Amino acid sequence: MLGAARRGGHRPHASRFIQADLMALKSTIFKANLQIADIDNNYYADHALTLARHPSETDERMMVRLVALALQAHKLQSVCSGDGTLAFGAGLSDPDEPDVWLRDFTGRTRLWIEVGQPEDKPLLKACGKADEVVLYCFSSAAEVWWKGIQTKLTRPKNLSVWRVPTAQSQALSALAQRSMQLQATLQEGQLTLGDEKTTVDIECMRWL
């Protein structure tokens, strides 16, 4: 047992156990079959997606990643003329990769999507790596975070920031399953995401 002393011996160093436990943690794989009907942007497609949820990632954050992809999926057609790759990045597993990205056939990063409340430096760095960077923040502390970081993000012209209402992002957790069959409909700026049992309406507010 972690931290327990051995009889007749020395107490093992706790940090060794913690380090070993962290190394043993692996991402949980989720599969999603996402049918997108983006009426606003005339984009209709099915996406077979694989999401790797980091041990520290919540269902809420993972599903916000999926929402972000659904909202921006039309750029696979409008930006890359259908000849590109829209996929989830390593996210929390690798700070140098986005949560979602769109690359064209040359490997150029056309769209870099982040979710959450990151620091300004990684966002500014991303703006130098991609044609466009989109951030979706969602937690109850988002307003406080935005007040502290807003003035630091005015320089890049290729960055936009959106607020997903917290009550709506929390409701997304009910959709999280290891194997998901989801329908996403975007009309007049509102996204409706659901399966056979649950539907969540999401309307993001633009902050930048």
Q: Please report, for the domain that includes residue 132, its CATH number.
A: 3.10.640.10
Q: Is residue 80 in some structural domain?
A: yes
- Strand, coil or helix: 182: strand
CB atoms within 10 A of CB 76: 23
Number of separate domains in the chain? 1
Residue span of the structural domain in which 166 resides: 29-206
Q: Is residue 156 in some structural domain?
A: yes
Q: Is the pLDDT of residue 115 over 80?
A: yes
Q: Is residue 12 in some structural domain?
A: no
Cα separation, 126 vs 143, whole angstroms:
22
Reported as a single tens digit per residue, the pLDDT across 3-15 is 443 334 444 444 4
Residue 121: phi and psi, rounded to 5, are -60, -45
Q: Is residue 143 in some structural domain?
A: yes
How confident is residue 20, by pLDDT bands cut at 50, 70 and 90? very low
The model's pTM is 0.87
Q: Is residue 23 in some structural domain?
A: no
Task: Match 């497609």 to its residue by tokens.
Answer: 45
Is residue 158 within 8 A of residue 127, CB to CB? The reply is yes
